[in-house]
Amino acid sequence: MDPAGSASNPASLIPTAVFIFWFSFAALAGAQTSDASLVARAQQLSAEQRWQEVVGLVESAQQPSAELDFYYGTALAQLGRWDDAQRAYAAGARLQPGDKRFPLELAGVAFKQKRYSVAVGHLKRALHLDSTDSYGNDFLGTIYFLKGNVEAALKYWNRLGKPQIVEVRSQPPPRVNGALLDRVMAFAPASVLRLPDLRTTQVRVRRLEIFPRYQFDLQARDDGKFDILFRNRERDGWGQGTLERLFLLFRGLPFQSITPEVYNLRHQAINLVCLYRWDAEKRRILAQLSSPFNANPKFRYGLSADLRSENWDIRNSFQGPAPLRGSLNMRRESVAADFASMETGRWQWSAAVEASHRDFRSVIQGTALTPSLLAKGYQLKQLTQVDASLWRLPERRLTLDGGASSQTARIWSEPSHSFEKLQASLRFHWFPESQGDDYEIQHRIKAGKTFGDVPFDELFILGLERDNDLEMRGHIGTRGGRKGSAPLGRNYFLSNWEVDKNVYQNGVVTVKLGPFLDTGKITDASTGLGSQKWLWDVGAQAKVRIFGVGVAFSYGKDLRSGNNAFYVSMR
């Protein structure tokens, strides 16, 4: 043990510790005083715009603080030394990561260097620190405006009560009634253009069904305000010009059909769309009339009549060996009325009622057709549907929409019975590039289920067929002209994924190419129906849009059977 009173005695260390503490404190205080004086001097020089002296002052400091880095970066930026300014601001941001000034200034440097994506990233970091910062919101909205992303610009400008609209113009001037078009627009001159109002307007324009192509552009004015330009291609009457009229009327000739269509009757967005198909295996006459309700584009009603006479051969493939599982001729007549609401762009709803009659002739039941499927007689059906915008990320040009529908019906057959059909859908839509539609990615998911005894014509179909919208692009729904070669059933799941590349566009004709992947399964209690297993189809398609009408040329391969499907469809 050490003798008493030796240097190891803790009491003897107290004066030394006190000396070290006061020495360190004095040194720190001196350093802080020195840094404070440098900051004050840098601030004064900056106010006098003596930028080169600011640079020299900060470079003489041994360990510049974050505040000195800020003035250093500002001076370098004013001198046009962008790379050095970026390094100075970055150093300050590392010392004070919670200071929003550094990402804001880094965004300004990146903008000057035309590195817009980098500038956006810095601005988002600044707004993460302070979402109410007016400079950051205005700057970010301006960048998106310059990139042509109007929705993203509005998202940030709206936080500041911008942009102020002076005038709403159309190019070319539409033929539709001016008062009706004014009511379509959820915004007005001399007001702020809000993003929800733009989305509501887009939904209402689309549901008029007379503008196959349209776009809203913001145009800056010298006074800091904006005009809105509604660019459009309008359907009016039988079409614009002889060539367009002939194409629209006779585009279905290869499929033994014609499509008389008249749009924008009386310039009130009243549309009459008809189909006459004389194909001996699947005759059809269809007429649909739709119009705004009481000249109000928030609401729309429709009336329709549909007459069919179809021959069905139920098989498990559209080519190769495929034994007949059932056969029939179906005649069906129906009339319907529907009403839809587009009150907001966030969600819409519709309701409809349909009265119909069906009968079956030349029936060969086989393994697929059961007595409940062959229920004849009159039917009354109620339909409801809700569509909603679930998620939007305008900065990435990404949307996720959903929908749900219900159909409840009663059949006065022998015996009478009722059934219900429920369906749900999701649609993911993305333009990967910051502007334009050069690339487009879509993924649609649908599912449906039935309850009760549904008649044959209410079954779901997975496959390509002109009267069917549940596409499996490696399965064709007809064989020898007769329907029934695609999987049928009461319940289904379907996934459609596709990528499109814009390869040609001239204002009238647009051509897109891309691959697709379809996955689906359909089930049924009957042993002769359903897909039994999951279906996988891969392939490629070309989408051609002419005069607002889509034509799709597709090649699909069924990975289970190896069948190859070439198909042309109108959309």
Spatial distance between the Cα atoms of 288 and 266, rounded to a whole number of angstroms: 17
Confirm whether pTM is higher than 0.75. yes
Residue 6: per-residue pLDDT? 38
Residues 6+ apart with CB under 8 A from 414: 376, 377
**Residues 409-424: tens digit of each pLDDT:** 999 987 888 999 999 9
- Mean pLDDT score across all residues of the chain: 91
**Residues 185-228: tens digit of each pLDDT:** 999 999 999 999 999 999 999 999 999 999 999 999 999 999 99
Neighbour-count burial of 544, counting CB atoms closer than 10 A to its CB (0-12 exposed, 13-18 middle, 19+ buried): middle
Q: Are 46 and 75 in contact (CB under 8 A)?
A: yes
Read off φ and ψ for residue 515, nearest 5 degrees: -85, 170
3-state helix, strand, coil in the chain (%, to 5): 30, 40, 30
Q: Which two tokens stand for residue 4?
A: 């008493």
The H-assigned helical ranges of 61-133 are 66-78, 82-95, 101-112, 116-129
Spatial distance between the Cα atoms of 128 and 130, rounded to a whole number of angstroms: 6
Tell me, what amino acid is at 357?
Answer: H
Strands 164-171 and 564-570, by their bridges, are unpaired
- Tell me the three state secondary structure of residue 135: helix
Residues 6+ apart with CB under 8 A from 123: 103, 104, 107, 136, 139, 140, 143
Neighbours of 37 (CB within 10 A): 10
Closest CA to 537 of 516, 510, 523, 511: 516
Name 328's bridge partners: 312
Q: Does the structure show a pLDDT above 70 at 103? A: yes
Residue 18: per-residue pLDDT? 39
Spatial distance between the Cα atoms of 397 and 151, rounded to a whole number of angstroms: 9
- Per-residue confidence at 63, pLDDT binned at 50, 70, 90? confident
What single string gives the DSSP state of each residue in 381-440? EEEEEEEEEEEEETTTTEEEEEEEEEEEEEEESSS-EEEEEEEEEEEEEE--SSSSSSEE
Q: Are 51 and 42 in contact (CB under 8 A)?
A: no
Name 180's bridge partners: none
Cis peptide before 172 (omega within 30 of 0): yes
**Residues 258-285: tens digit of each pLDDT:** 999 999 999 999 999 999 999 999 999 9
- Which is more confidently placed, 488 or 20? 488
Spatial distance between the Cα atoms of 488 and 312, rounded to a whole number of angstroms: 12
- Which is more confidently placed, 437 or 16? 437
Q: Are 340 and 207 in contact (CB under 8 A)?
A: yes
Residue 21: per-residue pLDDT? 41
Domains in the chain, start-ordered, CATH in brackets? 39-160 (1.25.40.10), 164-233 (3.10.20.310), 242-570 (2.40.160.50)
